[in-house]
Amino acid sequence: MSLVSMVAGRIRVSLLPGLCAGITLLAGIAVACWLAYKQSAYEVETFSAIKDEITAVIGERMKDHELILKGARGFVEGSQDVSRAEWRSYYQSLELERKYPGILGMGYSAFLLPGEVAGFEQRRRDEGFGDFVVHPEGQREIYTSILFLEPFTGKNLRAFGYDMMSEATRAKALHSAIFSGNTAMSARVTLLQENEADRQAGMLIYVPVFRSGMPRDTPEARWQALEGFVYSPFRMGDLMKGVGLRDRDLVGFDIYDGTAPREQALMYRSADYGVEAGRERQCSISEFFGHPWTLCFYRSPLYQQQLSTHSIPLILSAALLLAIAIYFTMLSVIYRRHRAEQLASKMTAKLRRKQDELEVIQVRQERVLSGSNDGWWEYKVSSDEAYVSPRFCEQLGLNGRQQVWPLAHLKALLPEEERHDVLSRVRRILVSRDTSFSLELRLKHAKGHYIPLLARGQIDRDTSGKALIMSGANIDLTESKRIEEMKNGFISTVSHELRTPLTSISGSLSLVNGGALGDLPEAAQSMLGIAKTNCDRLGFLINDLLDMDKLVAGKMRFDIGVHSLTHVVQKTLDATQGYAEQYSVSVVWAASEEVQIEVDEIRAQQILSNFISNAIKYSPTHGQVMLKAERCKQAYVRVLVIDQGEGIPEDFKPHIFQKFSQADTSTTRKKVGTGLGLAITKELAERMKGGVGFCSEEGRGSTFWVEFAVAT
């Protein structure tokens, strides 16, 4: 053979591998370009969605505050003369500090002409405020002295008697409210309640109050009918924290007063990185009650880290390596094809061994698949290895063939924060006498996310009960979890939409029942009492749903600190005393040695209040509920709530701490409730590194307990 023929032959041999390698490399480049395009589009879409959500949430919160102030206006206009005690009672019935954190309070400012100021001041002094004056001093055409402001404590006392018409920014908003006859918001101001330690920009929302029966269809008529203003002051930092915005770590935002992002008009900045030079911002103007705000949004440093992908360099590198591998592999196959005959006999023997192993695996597979058609597996305890089926691998996005995995491989697929708990439950199953099991867990998919699975099956044991083989099948719970999330989202949305109108209804019913409209017929009083009772029940349900939604979403914040156990228990007893008297039940605290516990005080009181109120509700008339504390373990104290009720049915005990669980689910049940209280209690205790439990015997009462961590 000539040299030319040899070269031509080698070129022909290399042509096909080179063509395949080139196609592979081009495919990798195309995939990388497509991924880069999708990533860019996703980042833009995500940023826009978060920006729109933040704007919408702020808008909804401002609407909520407007509804609250309009409800207060209706209260004032519907009453001939509101007393300070009535205003305080109305404010407390709204529970604004709990439902709308960030609001400094709610007040009422009276409209005065110059000739009415002296008499107004004297009436306040007659009420017991001996040094009361309308301030600041000075002659003005009109005055608006703050008469009520709840809570009437602390820094809010500075505003008592203040004339908001004396300051230009506030006066402009007040005139706007009168001119429009509706809600108005002030520009950026420094509130009287402000201090130097934590100085924040502020603003106020006003709703005018007019005298009943007087015309108000023109600005002039509204001036003649003007009686005063209901208003709320806000510190912008506290207001934004209370709104409960999500994704603040990904997208930051600034709020400027007016229609331009001027630094001197800054009202709120969510993060310090918003002032970094060169950071791109997207600004838009939102109008609230006729006053414009400029909202500027910008991506956080974490935004790029979480949303950017590192897959493109990997794809290109993988494509290049794969192309090289294909090229040399095909060359190797072509050049060594003649060796195939020599290896045929060896391969035949190897195939026979593989066939024998396959028959053994098929026997195992038939045994497991007899009860399930999902991804199956079999764990052999003695060898610490697991056989997994092709379907098992497909569920995790892996190569769909039967494999033998060491236990360490399976452990690595578990989420790090759940690994210890899952392995502990598996060990408890193995050492028990059970022959079947059911276990929920999550395993890591090849693409990086986690797949929720339900593993269930059987355990083969020897005559002594020792576990030999654990066989089971995995059911993919992704769809059921998605449906559950949709259900939780629906419940959360409905609860939020119901809470604001329900607050107004409850406040109005409380005032009517309290005699704000005078004496009512006995039949009307009975019907209003029923309405108030059912309104309160609906309020409790909504509050429980919102608490559970926050716990499930991980949005509930805990202010863990060191508190006295006796103090926490005593405050809870004071809060439930009226409920106990309603049922003619006495609550006794068997005080123990002083113990300091590490808890969120409000949440600890909520746990104890749930247990105590349940104990009272299910105790007989003139019964007794006993509270006592005892040390348990090394660093925990256990508080027990013991009642004299009928006890818990045996078949209901496994469901006692599940959501919406009630022993009596009939429409005629005697004890009402949401079925969420104990589920929320369990979640709260576990979030504070504690726990709950109970013991009960039918006909002989129940004992519920909670464990709190002892401060070291």
Any idea which of 2-16, 519-533, 587-601 has the lowest mean pLDDT? 2-16
Is it the case that residue 125 has pLDDT exceeding 90? yes
Each residue's pLDDT tens digit, 277-295 = 556 788 999 999 989 999 9
- As a whole number of angstroms, the distance between CA 343 and CA 321 comes to 28
- As a whole number of angstroms, the distance between CA 208 and CA 206 comes to 6
For position 237, what pLDDT does the model report?
86
Termini Cα distance of the chain: 91
What order of strands is seen across the sheet that includes strand 403-406? 403-406, 385-388, 375-380, 467-476, 450-461, 436-444
Each residue's pLDDT tens digit, 510-533 = 676 666 666 767 767 667 666 666
Any idea which of 153-167, 220-234, 337-351 has the lowest mean pLDDT? 337-351
- At 496, is the pLDDT very low, low, confident or very high (cuts 50, 70, 90)? low
Is it the case that residue 409 has pLDDT exceeding 60? yes
- As a whole number of angstroms, the distance between CA 239 and CA 100 comes to 9
Which has the closest alpha carbon to 280: 301, 299, 256? 299
Any idea which of 459-463, 497-501, 507-511 has the lowest mean pLDDT? 497-501
For position 239, what pLDDT does the model report?
87
- As a whole number of angstroms, the distance between CA 370 and CA 245 comes to 50
Distances, alpha carbon 518 to alpha carbons 203, 282, 422, 512, 637, in Å? 37, 55, 63, 8, 51
Contact 612, 588 (CB under 8 A): no
Residue 711 DSSP label: P
Kindly tell me the burial class for residue 444, based on how many C-beta atoms sit within 10 Å of its own C-beta (0-12, 13-18, 19 or more). Answer: middle
The stretch 239-246 carries a mean pLDDT of 77
What's the pTM? 0.45
Contact 145, 110 (CB under 8 A): yes
- As a whole number of angstroms, the distance between CA 245 and CA 65 comes to 17
| H or E element in which residue 223 lies | helix 219-225
One-letter amino acid identity for 358? L
- As a whole number of angstroms, the distance between CA 707 and CA 104 comes to 35
Contact 282, 294 (CB under 8 A): no
C-alpha of 150 from chain center: 29
Task: Give strand pairing partners of 107.
Answer: 149, 231
One-letter amino acid identity for 593? E
For position 310, what pLDDT does the model report?
63
Any idea which of 34-43, 172-181, 278-287, 673-682 has the lowest mean pLDDT? 673-682
For position 541, what pLDDT does the model report?
59
Share above pLDDT 90 across residues of the chain, in percent, rounded to a whole number: 23
- As a whole number of angstroms, the distance between CA 92 and CA 94 comes to 5
Name the average pLDDT for the chain: 80
Q: What angle do CA 108, 110, 113 make, to 5 degrees?
A: 165
Domains contained in the chain, CATH given: 18-336 (3.30.450.350), 350-472 (3.30.450.20), 481-553 (1.10.287.130), 561-709 (3.30.565.10)
For position 476, what pLDDT does the model report?
79
Q: Which two tokens stand for residue 594?
A: 């002083």
Pairing of strands 624-632, 586-590: parallel
- As a whole number of angstroms, the distance between CA 363 and CA 352 comes to 17
Is it the case that residue 165 has pLDDT exceeding 60? yes
The stretch 205-228 carries a mean pLDDT of 92
Is it the case that residue 685 has pLDDT exceeding 60? yes
For position 313, what pLDDT does the model report?
76
For position 458, what pLDDT does the model report?
84
**Dihedral (CA of 118, 119, 124, 125) sign:** positive
Contact 82, 228 (CB under 8 A): no
Contact 565, 597 (CB under 8 A): yes
Q: Which tops the pLDDT comparison, 111 or 471?
A: 111
- At 174, is the pLDDT very low, low, confident or very high (cuts 50, 70, 90)? very high
Neighbours of 441 (CB within 10 A): 22
Contact 173, 183 (CB under 8 A): no
